[in-house]
Chain A
Amino acid sequence: MNDVLTLDNDVQQVPQLAEFIDRVCETAGVDLPLTAKLNLAIEEAVVNVMDYAYPKDVKGEVRIEAIAEEACLTFVISDSGVAFDPTAKEDADTTLSLEERPIGGLGIFLVRQIMDSVAYERTDGKNVLTLKKNLK
């Protein structure tokens, strides 16, 4: 099963993404707890693109392709913005005290926590982020 959603780089479109993920997960027979986690991981990855791929006030698109196979669910997130590798970012340190803990930096950390593999590639002037979740 293959499904594609294309969004503008506008975070107000995030609710459309949630509908898309719910639909993909339902079709693939994914249970509700994992559906909730995938919603979170894909939102974080897509918002990251919306925030960094295109300069402020420049319109651009984010394409999300979902590929459901028997043992694996794959999401390929691509954009034509500036080269940006979110996987190069260091993980958040979740053991820090309240005083030391920075306010942000959890987005990509959550993607890594939830998905089984996260890979970035720059091809044909596009950023391509491939996220995989094993279903078995």
Chain B
Amino acid sequence: MMKTSVTEENGMLIAAFEGRLDTAAAPQTEKDLAQVCENKDLDIVLDCTKLDYISSSGLRIFLSILKLAKANGRHVSVVGLNDDLRNVFSMTGFINLFDIK
């Protein structure tokens, strides 16, 4: 099961993920994030505190958001990665692309 919510807080867009972002869940997650992609001004926080798992289809979504945001001069940070997710970010070099807090 995968849940994605987007809220605006302190002038930032917070996208919070909960569950397993696998290939089955990716298309719906992408739809749920439409608001994040359409916005042209606000910085973005990808909150992974409750994210248990991510596969390449989820990484693809994260990278698209980062590319889009950077093109508009917005900042993207990633918070709450567990050890397994951090390991995936490390293997793929995402650790160098994202501001991980």
Residues of A within 8 A of B (CB): 11-15, 18, 33, 36-37, 39-40, 43-44, 47, 92, 94-96, 98, 101, 103-104, 106-107, 109-110, 113-114
Given A101-B63, A104-B60, A43–B92 Cβ distance below 8 Å?
no
Instruction: For residue A87, give the distance in angstroms from its CB to the closest CB of chain B.
Output: 16
Question: Is chain A's interface secondary structure helix, strand, loop, or mixed overall?
Answer: helix
Given A37-B87, A43-B55, A101–B23 Cβ distance below 8 Å?
no
A39→B83 CA distance, assembly (Å): 15
Question: Is chain B's interface secondary structure helix, strand, loop, or mixed overall?
Answer: helix
Fill in one digit per residue for B8-30: 1 if any A CB lies within 8 Å of its CB, else 0.
Answer: 00000000000010111000000
Given A43-B55, A44-B56, A103-B60, A113–B91 Cβ distance below 8 Å?
yes
A43 CB contacts on chain B under 8 angstroms:
22-23, 55
Instruction: For residue B4, give the distance in angstroms from its CB to the closest CB of chain A.
Output: 16
